[in-house]
Amino acid sequence: MKKIYLITAIAVAIASSLACMGNGGKKGAKTFTNPVIDRDAPDPTVIRADDGTFYAYSTQRDGNVPIYKSADMVNWEYIGGAFPKDGVPRFVPKGGIWAPDINRIEGKYVLFFSMSTWGGEWECCIGRAVSDSPEGPFTDAKMLFRSKEIGVQNSIDPVVVQDGGRKYLAWGSFRGIYIAELTDDGLELDDPKNIVKIAGTAYEGTYIHKRDGYYYLFASIGRCCEGMNSTYETVVGRSRSLFGPYVDKQGRPMTENHHEVLISGDDKVKGPGHDSQIITDDKNQDWIFYHGYTASDNASSGRKMFLDRVTWHDGWPRIGVDGHPTATDTAPAIKNKRK
């Protein structure tokens, strides 16, 4: 009888160990279920650190920018705020920190962000802060410009593009999308008078991805933040030049609000949008994060973070199987941590 109990115990232990490995252990998760962050985590931005660990940041929560950590892009742990408690930027009175964008620039982790209040489209601003670690603390926070100073209404949603050794900043929300060059260290706007409009008034939450000679301008359209009534969706256009023109499949320009719809809501997920950088896994598969409301809780838990595979067809990206958020899928291929 003791032998039976011993064999049973060993079998249970082995099964338990295998289950842990398949759900985010050393070999990474085998499958995942959306949302991967099942709480309010809007406007995600994600980076992979030198040791292979992933870090995600989102719009302000509890007075700070939350940081999440993951070994496999699927299982995420909240580790705290990006800014020290006494170092949270206060560039806009009563303003929140929205839509951060994480980057590795000249050996530093640089977090760009916008600060605004609802309706404060001329007082909002874009800033940045710097850290030696993706876990922070991010310090040396500086405001780069305010809307009224640069003449671009609703200057929020910054994203950095590094291309050919040069750095650029794109930004904007429903008042046009603009791009300008940064200084060599990526920490300042090079010339506030030299800005170019690259997309029209339908868009916000942009991100630019370069692939096979094209620049892809991902963006969000519609109402972002109205729970079950949200109409937010993700769209895309492409260009041979970083400065445009970005066009849809018919060659119509995004400056005239033409685009291809990439992912839209359904009866399970409302308002999928404001996507992150594209992250490539260890089998060269592309992935993207974005936020959305879940109908299962009637959107009461806020905009949660979703993960989906990006596939490419005739030079255009596709997210999900049918243009809607994926419920479950095979997880990203992630090897053990880098040395």
Q: Is 9 helix (H, G, I), strand (E, B) or coil?
A: helix
Q: In whole angstroms, what is the distance from residue 90 CA to residue 3 CA?
A: 67
Active site includes 43? yes
Active site includes 135? no
Q: In whole angstroms, what is the distance from residue 57 CA to residue 68 CA?
A: 6
Query: Where does the chain have alpha helices with state H?
Result: 2-22, 147-150
H or E stretch covering 129: strand 125-131
Q: Do the beta carbons of residue 303 and residue 293 sit within 8 Å?
A: yes
| Residue 137 neighbours by CB distance under 10 Å | 15
Tokens 């359209």 -> residue: 221
The single residue of 204, 248, 281, 286 carrying the catalytic annotation is 204
Pairing verdict, β 286-294 and 279-280: antiparallel
Q: Do the beta carbons of residue 42 and residue 35 sit within 8 Å?
A: no
C-alpha neighbours within 13 Å on the C-beta side of residue 214: 16
Among 149, 153, 115, 108, smallest CA distance to 131 is for 108
Q: Do the beta carbons of residue 219 and residue 203 sit within 8 Å?
A: yes
Q: Do the beta carbons of residue 67 and residue 136 sit within 8 Å?
A: yes
Q: What are phi and psi of 73, to 5 degrees?
A: 75, 0
The single residue of 43, 72, 248, 308 carrying the catalytic annotation is 43
Q: In whole angstroms, what is the distance from residue 330 CA to residue 32 CA?
A: 6
Among 101, 65, 97, 58, smallest CA distance to 303 is for 58
Q: In whole angstroms, what is the distance from residue 317 CA to residue 314 CA?
A: 9
Please spell the DSSP secondary structure of 192-212, one letter per residue.
Answer: TT-EEEEE-TT-EEEEEEEET
Active site residues: 43, 204
